Structure 1
Amino acid sequence: MPISIETRLEYAVSGPVDVLLQIEAAIIPEQSVLHAHIDLPPSEHFARVQGQSGIGDRIWLRVSEPLSVHYRATVEVNRLLADVGTLAATPPHMLPGETVDYLMASRYCPADTFQDFVNGEFAGTAGGARIAAIRDWIGQTLSYEPGSSDAMTTAADTFRSQTGVCRDYAHLMIALARASAVPARFASVYGLGVEPQDFHAVAEVFLDGVWHMVDATGMSAPESIAKIGVGRDAADVAFLTSYGEVELLEQSVSVAAVDSV
């Protein structure tokens, strides 16, 4: 399914500042970027560097004037789809090396603290069946409430409050999957159907030798999601990280279906 994407960012800048951007749809086999253009402000330095796990690009900028970014793209999604509930888990000792980091606890996903919970709440399930049970439990238990969390909220905080936004749903999904010995990572995406429209976050789990998207919010589907990048959690794949003072003035994200390209 082709989708169109338009993103605008406006930040005030106080003096020279280094900024790391990751907002472009990744050029990877599961999606084709049919058209893309990004407008960036004048900068003292510009460089593209590879995203985590080789997925997507990050852009380094050093700017001294307002940061104004306008990104437009059309992306055709070609992702292989599967019912995760039917998929087998790979035994930990058979996991490929590149997946092992995604078994470990991370800043926002303290997976080791959830092992007793998953073994009790989801007893009798394993692999994809465990992942489907976790996804459904999160969807039924959490309330989606914009403004209920902030940049410091962890999966443990979300578990206790039972509220959050897509970032929090993804972090809890990841933490519970890792506690179940299933590699899981955070994916920053553009998702059709997300309301209110914004950057979206989903989990990806490694089952039956392949990464599969899981959106515990239920707002988006893998066939209508454009991936930006992945990481252990949100800290690895923020759309903007600044090393210096910046102030958000305006941000907008628009994702729409395209009838024909």
Structure 2
Amino acid sequence: MKFQVNSEIQYQVLQPSTFILDIHALRTSTQTILEESLVVDPYLRVEEFSSAQNANRFIRLEVVEPMNFKITYKATVDTLTRVIDQKQEKGVVPVVQLDGDIIPYLFPSRYCQSDKLQRLANNKFGKVENTFAKVVAITDWIYENVEYLSGSTDSQTSAYDTVTERAGVCRDFAHLGIALCRALSIPARYFTAYAYNLNPPDFHACFEAYIGGHWIIFDATKLAPLNGLVKIANGRDAADAAVASIFGNVVCQSMQVSSEVLEENFEPFFYDSKELKALSYE
């Protein structure tokens, strides 16, 4: 499915500052970038790089004097999702059988304190045998028990805070889903994306759980179709996949994000609790 994605961010820089941004669509085996452009106005030199841990496409730019500037990213992206039947998948893959690159997604992290949520996770979801159904139950519980409330949290809010306050935004919903999965020995990772039909338009955060050898996508906010996502980044949590990391004195003046489907036969996909059909971007 082809999508046209766009992001435009304007900054006021008050003193020399360095920006590390993560707004490029990923290049993966199931996501092909057909066209893309990045424009900085006025011109500033931009360096693209990836970390050793993942394929996230970071850009770095330095502003040496006070100024205003705008950065615009546009891309046409072709995504391929796979529907996987989870009816025969009964239990968690034993940790001893997991590949080494999956293991880090079992550990507690800065925003996903799974070690603090083990009792809650086991009490609420421990008796669900099928792992996919278990994670669907987690996302449904978050959706039903945490209010989506813009402006209710900040960059310090963790999964433990969210389950206590029972309010948050997509970032917080994703962190809580990840933490509850890890508390049940299910590897889970953070996922940022451009999301089709998201209202209001913005960068979107959800999560993936490793089930039956596949990374399966979940979104506890239920604000966008699962097959309407263009992946930007993965990480243990938002610290690994922040849209913007800024070192200096900067004011974000505006941010506009959009995603449009370019094909007429798009059919939105959401999970039905009665059907064990999973969706993977891998």
Q: TM over 0.5, yes or no? A: yes
- Cα separation, 2, equivalents of 1:52 and 1:156: 29
Q: CA RMSD in A?
A: 1.7
The answer on 1:167 being equivalent to 2:171 is yes
- Cα separation, 2, equivalents of 1:53 and 1:213: 20
Q: Which residue of 1 aligns with 2:78?
A: 76
How far apart are residue 53 of structure 1 and its match? 4.0
TM score, norm. by length of structure 1: 0.93
Q: Which residue of 1 aligns with 2:46?
A: 46
- Cα separation, 1, equivalents of 2:32 and 2:254: 29
User: Against the structure 1 CA distance between its residues 185 and 236, is the aligned structure 2 distance closer, same or farther, given a 3 Å change threshold?
Assistant: same
More helix by share: 1
TM score, norm. by length of structure 2: 0.87
Aligned partner of residue 84 in structure 2, secondary structure: coil
Contact 1:85 1:130 survives alignment (8 Å): no
How far apart are residue 155 of structure 1 and its match? 0.6
Contact 2:126 2:184 survives alignment (8 Å): no
Q: Which residue of 2 aligns with 1:228?
A: 232
How far apart are residue 51 of structure 1 and its match? 4.6
How far apart are residue 222 of structure 1 and its match? 3.0
* CA displacement, residues 20-49 of structure 1 (integer Å, 9 cap, x when unaligned): 011011011121111111102433x53211
Structure 1 portions without partners, runs of 5+: none
* CA displacement, residues 77-134 of structure 1 (integer Å, 9 cap, x when unaligned): 1022336676453111111111111111111110001111111111312422221111
How far apart are residue 66 of structure 1 and its match? 2.6
2:126 to 123, 128, 140: 123
- Cα separation, 2, equivalents of 1:85 and 1:146: 36
1:259 to 239, 263, 268: 263
Aligned partner of residue 162 in structure 2, secondary structure: helix
Q: Which residue of 1 aligns with 2:32?
A: 32
Q: Which residue of 1 aligns with 2:140?
A: 136
Matches within 5 A, 1:156-235: 156-235=160-239
- Percent identical residues: 33
Q: Which residue of 1 aligns with 2:280?
A: none
- Cα separation, 1, equivalents of 2:106 and 2:198: 28
- Cα separation, 2, equivalents of 1:52 and 1:214: 26
**Number of aligned positions between the proteins:** 259
Which deviates more from structure 2 when the two are superposed, residues 241-250 or residues 59-68?
Answer: 59-68
User: Against the structure 1 CA distance between its residues 195 and 68, is the aligned structure 2 distance closer, same or farther, given a 3 Å change threshold?
Assistant: same
Aligned partner of residue 61 in structure 1, secondary structure: strand
Structure 2 portions without partners, runs of 5+: 265-282
Q: Which residue of 2 aligns with 1:150?
A: 154
